[in-house]
Amino acid sequence: MNKASNRSLFFYQGDKLITVKEGDQHRAIFRNAEQPLAELSTDNTQAGGLLAIDQMGSVLVVQGSDEQP
């Protein structure tokens, strides 16, 4: 009997988050030196999007490809 794993794995490069793995879903975070810019999902269930961030680098909004600006 297989149990579904509810674990989330977080991968960092230095102190910057670059990948999140939740079960079979993977999300990659694309960034410049200091700011996250976009995220991309490696499965077909979630679209990626551009990230709107504040001056501290917190993500406020994710704008997907199917949304209008």
Give the count of beta carbons closer than 10 Å to the beta carbon of residue 29. 19
Distances in Å between the Cα of 6 and the Cα atoms of 3, 23, 32 are: 9, 7, 30
Q: Find all residues with CB under 8 Å of 31, minimum gap 6, and list them.
A: 16, 18, 37
- What's the pLDDT tens digit per position in 8-34? 999 999 999 999 998 888 889 999 888
Q: Which amino acid is at 66?
A: D
pLDDT for the residue numbered 2 = 53
Phi, psi dihedral angles at 35 (to 5 degrees):
-125, 140
Give the count of beta carbons closer than 10 Å to the beta carbon of residue 34. 8
pLDDT for the residue numbered 10 = 95
- What's the pLDDT tens digit per position in 33-45? 888 899 988 876 6
